[in-house]
Amino acid sequence: MTLVPQNKFPNTIRREDNPPLLVRDGRRQFQTDDDSVLISQVLDIDESHDDRPYDPTPVSSKNILQAAEVILSRVTKPDINSNVSGSAVPAGAHEDPLEHHASPSIIPENHGVPTSLFITISVELFTKWLTGEDENKKNMAMNILDAVKQYDWHEKVVLVLGTFAVKNGEFWLVAQLYTTYAFAEEIGKLEQLPEILDRSQTDLKPKFDAYNNLVKSVLKVTKSIVQLQELRRDPHLTTELESSTNSTDAHIATAVYWTIWSIVVAASHFSGITGMGPDYKMEAWELSFSIHKLESIHSDLEETINSVYDAIQRKKDDEALAEIAYILETPHVDNIKPLKVLFFKDDQPALYDCFRKRRVNIGVLKRKVVILFLTDLDILHENEYMIVQQMYIEKRHEPTRPESQYEVVWVPIVDTWTVDKYEQFETIRNAMQWYSVYHPSVVSRTVVKYIRKQDKWNFVKKPLLVVMDPQGKIVHSNAVHMMCVFGSMAFPFNKNREELLWEEETWRIELLADAIDENLISWISERKHICLYGGEDIDWIRKFTRAARSVASEAGIRLELLYVGTNKAKEKVVKNIMRIIQDENLSHTIEWNFICFFWIRLESMWESKGHQLQDKLKRSSQLRTTDYIAMKNDDAVMQGIISMLSFGSSDHGWAVIGTSSAEMSKANGEHMLRSLREFNAWKTRHSELGFTPALNEYLTGMYKQAPHHCSSLMLPVTGLIPETVTCVECGRLMERFNTFRCCTD
């Protein structure tokens, strides 16, 4: 590199009329009001490239940027003093992380550099200003932009940076070699290297520091410009998405102009501190302005890059989700393709047989009904876990029957996996008897997003049982409620089967009591009257059971009494009541876990039957909330479910009496006890109509005469919550409140 003699340099740098850095809302804005006119000129230059009759020489901007990064990472840390003063680190040199990201070994040999263009840019950067031909940096930056107008925005700034890096590299290469090679030593003498290096740790040190900081800022912004331009070429970035990210040509042009302007500043100061005498003066404002300007630009570019990247990622995710949805919602020859979408890990077996404790391939599920058990890690005490466990015990007990031809796969959904959570996952997996994913990573991030998507499976925290048929189509987004209500009869667990089961069902003792007690089957077959009752008032229980036995004897009916507690009751309270009932031989009781299951099953009835009614409305031409309420009020099964949930929401007594496949009587404890005590008043009607029809007739008259009473209804929190609910006894509209519970203790 040949330096111009010292007497050709101006003694001071002329300050140009540049706008001060604008601050808005405490944040620097790199496009000031004055920038708008300036950037219009820059855009005009760029648009004028169509006037040129030839295409530009193709360049590899990535290779040139890598080369410039390698050079400049050493320029900002040149070991120029190791052979002069014995110091290993020169003045102005600091540890630069760029050095770890750019290595000459990774740079291809052919950079596609347009040599003639480099010379043109070099003249603007290092010659015109030094000779006094043109000292205006804005003009110099505009001239450079005109020279590179044929190129894309990122190529423009990379070409200028590459030219700047070459000139810097030439000087520092001689500086490092001049004491070792005679050839370099002679060049160094002509370029006055000894004097420069002697002063590098004294009066020139602040200048080197300021210059190096500017070079680092230039390199950082250039890399961001290149990254943004690469993102803008991504095929997923539509015009609409780009417009929403502030990724516009004016936005890029602003960054390109001020980066080139800052390179011009850096070039002038580099020439000054490496070629002038002691009278050289560096204008601190100019370097400071450039660094702050680039800092603001880089901040905005990073924000835009993140915005563009997010827009692209959203588009990719949408496409991936659409592909997953198509595969999962379309029937296939078998279920292998959908299972591969859900579970895949490097062509290795993706599942784990928890019963046999071994890793297995998804082929074990081929052409079977597959139930995907979606949960978080807090599941061992969830109702859904108990339901699956009970179903699977029954399946293993009778593996050959048609209703047992399904498999369960546990799929844990956790946002962030840690070592502790993974250990918890393995512990839970080892306690199961069905299948599980072998490792959480077999479920991709996109699949998890599909599982959580509100209009798909809408998994939040509550466990789901999603059913895939043998052809790989999802036939139920949550079959847990129909499984809880109907057990193995619900097989193959699709919505059509759920609808058919409810259409065949009536409000009867078989539906309500199911198999909560081993004696129920024989009681029903013998057509005995069965009374289910509950509450936490032991005095009422004593009065009611004695009155019921007395009336049964007088009416000549066979009556069995069974205590089923209350919904969300405290275990200690209910077990104490059960102990008293057993000690005093008041009635039959069931185990605590069956009491819990009885009320869980009623809530599942509410969910399953409610969804079935909603689905029925969706298929009709009109869908209104009032339609759902009207249908619910006209549906005897739904009315019965609401009645039971209403009884279970209170600790007061209640009772339901019925026989096999016949009408049932139900009432709160006060009305039921009074009706039994007044049996003589409807004894004749009992002989004419039968026990429960006569009892219902008497209860209806009692409701009309009874004063207003208070009752409550606790419903599961789902999308099925109606706007209005009528009281199961008096028919009045119930008042609505919100209740929050942290636990059932």
Q: What integer pLDDT is reported at residue 3 of this predicted model?
A: 32
pLDDT tens for 114-137 read: 788 888 888 888 876 665 555 678
| Spatial CA neighbour of 197 closest among 76, 72, 84, 77 | 84
Q: Which residues of 242-279 are buried (b: 16+ CB within 10 A; e: fewer)?
A: beebebeeebbbbbbbbbbbbbbbbbbbbbbbbbbeee
What pLDDT is recorded for position 280? 53
Most confident of 84-98, 275-289, 400-414, 612-626: 400-414
Average pLDDT over residues 688-698: 94
Instruction: Write out the two tokens for 200.
Output: 């590098």
Q: Looking at residue 208, what is its pLDDT?
A: 81
Tell me the average pLDDT across 225-232.
Answer: 88
CB 698 within 8 A of CB 682: yes
Distance CA 644, CA 649 (A): 9
Mean pLDDT (the chain, rounded): 80
Give the pLDDT confidence score for residue 657 in this predicted structure.
96
User: What's the pLDDT band for 247 if we cut at 50, 70, 90?
Assistant: low
Torsion of CA 123, 129, 133, 139, to 10 degrees: 80
Closest-CA residue to 491 (of 511, 506, 470, 505): 470
Q: Name the pLDDT band for 384 (thresholds 50, 70, 90).
A: very high
The domains of the chain, with CATH numbers, are: 28-49+60-313 (no CATH), 336-488 (3.40.30.10), 509-669 (no CATH)
Q: What count of residues does the chain have?
A: 745
Contact assessment for residue 656 and residue 563, using Cβ atoms and an 8 Å cutoff: no
pLDDT (tens digit per residue) in 493-508: 999 999 999 999 999 9
Among 107-111, 178-182, 451-455, which is the least confidently predicted range?
Answer: 107-111
Q: What is the pTM of this model?
A: 0.70
Greater pLDDT, 371 or 9: 371
C-alpha to C-alpha distance for 92 and 206, rounded to whole angstroms:
7
Closest CA to 465 of 351, 362, 385, 350: 385
**Contacts with 190 (C-beta within 8 Å, 6 or more apart), sequence order:** 2, 3
Q: Please tell me the predicted confidence (pLDDT) of residue 53.
A: 47
Residue with tokens 């796969």: 409
pLDDT mean over 439-444? 93
Query: Does residue 49 have a pLDDT over 70?
Result: no
pLDDT of residue 11: 35
Kindly give, in sequence order, each residue whose CB lies less than 8 Å from that of residue 576, ignoring residues fewer than 6 positions away.
none
Q: Is the pLDDT of residue 217 over 60?
A: yes
- If you average pLDDT over each of 114-118, 123-127, 212-216, 550-554, which comes out highest? 550-554
Of the chain, the percentage scoring pLDDT greater than 70 comes to 75
**Cis status, amide bond into 492, omega within 30 of 0:** yes
For the chain, percent of residues with pLDDT exceeding 90: 45
- Terminal alpha carbon distance of the chain: 85
pLDDT for 32 equals 47
pLDDT band with cut points at 50, 70 and 90 for residue 718? low
For helices 284-328 and 249-275, give the axis angle rounded to 10 degrees.
140
What is the residue-wise DSSP string for 90-145? -TT----GGGGT--GGGS-S-----HHHHHHHHIIIIITTTTTS---HHHHHHHHH
Residue 485 has a CB neighbour count (10 Å cut-off) of 24
Mean per-residue pLDDT for 613-639? Answer: 68
Q: Whole-angstrom Cα distance, residue 512 to residue 559?
A: 17
Q: Could you tell me the pLDDT band of residue 622, with boundaries at 50, 70 and 90?
A: low
* Helix H or strand E segment including 384: helix 383-397
Q: Is a pLDDT exceeding 90 seen at residue 50?
A: no
Q: How confident is the model at residue 245 (pLDDT cuts 50, 70, 90)?
A: low
> 639-678 b/e with 16+ CB inside 10 Å = b?
bbbbbbbbbbbbbbbbbbbbbeeebbbbbbbbbbbebbee
Could you say which DSSP state residue 651 is in?
S
> Rounded to an integer, what distance in angstroms lies between the CA atom of residue 198 and that of residue 210?
18
Where residue 427 falls among pLDDT bands split at 50, 70, 90?
very high
Which has the minimum average pLDDT: 227-241, 307-321, 664-678?
Answer: 227-241
DSSP 298-348: HHHHHHHHHHHHHHHHHHHHHHHHHHHHHHHTS--SSSHHHHHHHS-STTS
Res. 15: pLDDT tops 50: no
How many beta carbons lie within 10 A of that of residue 319, not counting itself? 12
> Contact at 8 Å (CB) between 651 and 577?
no
Q: pLDDT at residue 16 above 50? A: no
Decide if pLDDT at 106 tops 70.
Answer: no
Phi, psi of 96 (to 5 degrees): -120, 115
**Which of 3-17, 674-688, 691-705 has the lowest average pLDDT?**
3-17
